[in-house]
Amino acid sequence: MLPQLGELSFIVTTESGGQRLDRFLVSVLAERSRAQIQKLIADGHVSIAGPSASPRDAKSNLVVREGDRIAVELPEATPAAAVSEALPLEILYQDADVAVLNKPAGMVVHPGAGHASGTLVNALLHHLSDLSGIGGELRPGIVHRLDRGTSGLMVVAKNDAAHQELSRQFEDREVEKEYIALVWGVVQAGRRIDAPIGRDPVNRQKMSSRGRRARHAVTRITRAHHMPGLTLCQVAIHTGRTHQIRVHLSAIGHPIVGDPLYGGVHRRVPGDIRAVQRLERPFLHAARLVFTHPTEGRRMEFIAPMPDDLADILDDLPGWKHEGHEDREEHEGLKTTKGITIPKSVKGTKNSSGPGSRRRRV
């Protein structure tokens, strides 16, 4: 019997009824893949009972019904040192102290429960010969994180001194982080969300603005482009809490499109915006990152292009494609149209591209 990390319990809502069991669990356990969910079911770690408490055999293709109570036991991961893996990784810049990379969506940052391999750390160990050791054997070089479903910019430390200084900058809120998000409804630029974030008391996989031991968190909508039923936002965060943007936008009634954990997946969508149903992850991209070089003291800015899976969705939405946004050729800096800044290229500022800097895909 595997040791248990804990048992989670979910009640199937009206909107979620009619789905396969594995698909439902993917929607509430967003950090786990469908294959991992299916293995949990096959290994007997999932049980299901109807409103009358009569149990049913849990199978991946079982159709869940409104009111079903589903219990999931999560086995505890066995700690192990991360190993090098030859995974593709886009490194935008590196020198003796730091490396800046463009993380793809779908890649977990470091090994953990259910993710022993295929992580960003595994890729870093293959592509970089030197990483800081402060994060331990499972998190070498990792100073901050992005959610599995979020793409975009990260900086990693290549030695302990750089790690300590970058960590201080994040702690003291000297690092600038901006994201591009597509949300449901109409949200206005200038909106400030100041609400603490902590672990959700009911669903331990979620964070909440009403969570216990909540910590201060601030998110700002800096720019907004409105489309039918949707808003494309440029979002700046002043803190770096787990799931911060996803929690805050959901809390104000504008969840990120494609985010199953925080109410961003709608089963009924108007025909003119049906393209959003092609999304296989939250529409969230870490587009801009600014920090001070830990040893040289120069301010460095990086901008990551919007990945094709998100840009393709935008191209098929009314109020976007025919507004002059269809040209996706790379150019210098940012393309600003109708009040929203959309990254089209990766470029350092004049102070960021010194000797030894490079942009490459490896």
Report the C-alpha gap between 239 and 229 in whole angstroms: 29
Q: Specify whether 200 is catalytic.
A: no
The end-to-end CA distance of the chain, in Å, is 42
The residue assigned the tokens 């990551």 is 304
Determine the Cα–Cα distance for residues 11 and 67; give it in Å rounded to an integer.
Answer: 6
Closest CA to 149 of 173, 179, 113: 179
Q: What is the DSSP string of 136-150?
A: -SSSTTB-S---TT-
Q: What is the DSSP letter of 97?
A: S
Tokens read off for 72: 């999931």
- Give the single-character DSSP code of 271: G
Alpha helices per DSSP H over the chain: 21-28, 34-42, 120-127, 160-171, 244-251, 308-315
The pair of structure tokens assigned to 139 is 């998190």
The residue written with tokens 């469908």 in the block is 34
For residues 252 and 236, give the distance between their C-alpha atoms in angstroms, rounded to a whole number: 16
| 177: nearest Cα among 236, 110, 254, 227 | 236
Which of the residues 147, 200, 259, 309 is marked catalytic?
A: 147
Q: Are 302 and 100 in contact (CB under 8 A)?
A: yes
User: Taking Cα atoms as reference points, which of 328, 290, 324, 326 lies closest to residue 307?
Assistant: 328
Q: Write the CB contacts of 194 (distance below 8 Å, at least 6 apart in sequence).
A: 217, 218
**Catalytic residue numbers?**
147
